[in-house]
Structure 1
Amino acid sequence: MHTLINYVRSGQPDLTNRQMALMMLVYLTPGPHTVRGLAQLLGVSKPVITRALNTLGALGYLRRVRDESDRRNVFVAKTSTGQEFLEGFNRNLEHSGSDRRAPRESGLLLQHG
C-alpha cells in the first residue's frame, strides 16, 4: 500500500496494467520487439498494443522505429525517458520494501466492512 501511495504522490503518469506490462516486456526482454510479437506475448490483439503504444509514445516512454532493411516492419524501441521512469519506479519499490511497516504503524487503519 505504501508503494502505491508513494507512486501517486510522485506525480508520475498513471499507467494501466497493460501499459506497464508492455513497458516491462520491452525493457526487460531482448528485442527486437514488434507489435505482433508483443500482442502474442500478452495474449491481446494488435489494436490493443497500438493503443497502449500511442499513450506510451506520447509520454516518451517507448517509440516506434522503422526497420531499415524492410520499411514495412516497425519495431518498438526503448527511450531514455522510459528507462528513467522504470528506474524511478524500481527505486520506489526498493524503498518501500526496506520501509515495510504494519498498516497501524504507518498511520493507516484498515477497516473491515
Structure 2
Amino acid sequence: MAVLTTVYLCASPHTVRGLAETLNVAKPAVTRALDRLSDLGLVRRKPDPDDRRSVLVQRTVKGSVFLSEFGELIVKAAEETGADEIEAAAHAA
C-alpha cells in the first residue's frame, strides 16, 4: 500500500529507484509490489524515454478510484469509531 500511496501522493515522475529511496526499502521489494499493482491495473509502467534501462511508474484511473474508495472507507471507519477507541489505539501502537 505504501508504494501505491507514494505514487499517487508524491510528485511524478516515479522510478523504482526513486520509490525505493523514498520508502527506504530495497529495489526488489518495490519491483515485486509494482508487479502486483500492475497486474491489478492500479499503476502502469512505461519505458523512460531518457534512460532505456529505467521505467517510469504512472497512475491509472483504476488506481485513483481504488485509493479514493479506500480513503472513504477509512474516514467512515474513523467516524464510526469513538474518540476514546482512537486514542487508545494510538497509545497502543
Q: Same fold (TM over 0.5)?
A: yes
Match of 1:25 in 2: 6
Of residues 81, 84, 88, the one that matches 1:100 is 81
Flag the structure with higher helix content: 2
Match of 1:75 in 2: 56
Question: Structure 2 length normalisation: TM-score?
Answer: 0.81
* 1:69, distance to aligned residue in structure 2 (A): 3.6
Match of 1:59 in 2: 40
Q: Between Structure 1 and Structure 2, how many residues are aligned?
A: 84
Output the amino acid matched with 2:80: D
Output the amino acid matched with 2:69: G
- The share of aligned pairs that are identical, in percent, is 44
Flag the structure with higher strand content: 2
Question: Structure 1 length normalisation: TM-score?
Answer: 0.67
Q: Which protein has the larger Cα radius of gyration, Structure 1 or Structure 2?
A: 1
Of residues 17, 35, 51, the one that matches 1:36 is 17
Using the alignment, how far apart are the partners of 1:40 and 1:71 within structure 2? Answer: 20
Superposition RMSD in Å: 1.6
